[in-house]
Amino acid sequence: MTGIVDFAKRMVIALILAGFIGLLFMGAIKTSAEEKEKAIPEEMTWPTGGTITDTYGTRDASHFGIDIGAAKGTPVVSALAGTVSRSYTSDTYGETVFVLHPNGYETVYAHLDVRFVEEGQAVDQGTMLGTVGNSGHSFGDHLHFEVHKGRWNIEKSESVDPLAFLEEDQLPTYTAFMDKHEVRPANASMHAEEHETVTVAPGDTVYQLSRENEVAVEELIAWNNLDAQATIVTGETLRLYPPS
């Protein structure tokens, strides 16, 4: 009889322990789900209006954001509310703003023409951070936009595809975006009539001419039927617009 009682006691204890472990397991799952949900940022606002010219993961997986082509002077706004963690001039990113958000994510806005915010400044979703430009290592007016699920680091190991948080079919057109923000670009056209062509001077390179005239290297090569080495000759006239 004593053996039966002891066995019953052990079974009760085992059931209690199993139930306790089950509760801990369910609590862990719930906590993990809550943390995951908290980590996912709310819907982001498009940082500028224009055309997507490059996506995440291109250039042998070395492109850690998306590029949005737009005219110089187009407003650039914060995709989410947060605090400006950096506002500085980079050799590669050019005029750049970083915004740290309450959910732990950090967004990057690079190649700006001008910056309107300072480090430590609180910004709302849609606050204007600066304007589209061509500063730093850039080949034409555009915004380079990055999203990091943690703080930005030199390896960009926390980077994620911005299009995962933006509705691509809702990218604002240039006109609609400019009307909404009531700001006009410094130059509405990247290729003004007085700069339709350029004459190659001694020492000029395709890279140099592309930067000086706000034209992508690839466009300059294609529009002028240059060879694979992008060879140009002093005195040669290059077009700065696509052939009709």
Structural domain that includes position 206: 193-239
Same domain, 225 and 160: no
Same domain, 165 and 70: yes
pLDDT digits 0-9 by tens, 40-76 = 456 899 999 988 988 898 877 788 999 999 888 889 9
pLDDT digits 0-9 by tens, 205-227 = 887 787 677 677 777 888 888 88
- What percentage of the chain has pLDDT greater than the value 90? 34
Same domain, 209 and 142: no
Q: How many whole angstroms separate alpha carbon 119 and alpha carbon 4?
A: 73
Same domain, 86 and 151: yes
Asked if the model's pLDDT at residue 34 lies above 70, the reply is: no
- 188 in any annotated domain: no
Tokens 């042998």 belong to which residue?
Answer: 60
Same domain, 98 and 18: no
Same domain, 158 and 217: no
pLDDT digits 0-9 by tens, 143-192 = 999 999 999 998 889 999 999 999 888 888 877 777 766 554 333 333 33
pLDDT digits 0-9 by tens, 83-93 = 999 999 998 89
Q: Which residues contact 126 (CB under 8 A, 6 or more apart)?
A: 45, 77, 78
CA distances from 219 to 90, 122, 178, 233, 242 (A): 25, 39, 26, 18, 8
Same domain, 171 and 202: no
- Residue with the larger pLDDT of the pair 135 and 139: 135
- 45 in any annotated domain: no
By the 10 Å C-beta count (0-12 exposed, 13-18 middle, 19+ buried), 21 is classed as exposed
- 244 in any annotated domain: no
Domain end marker among 181, 212, 227: 181
* Total domains present in the chain: 3
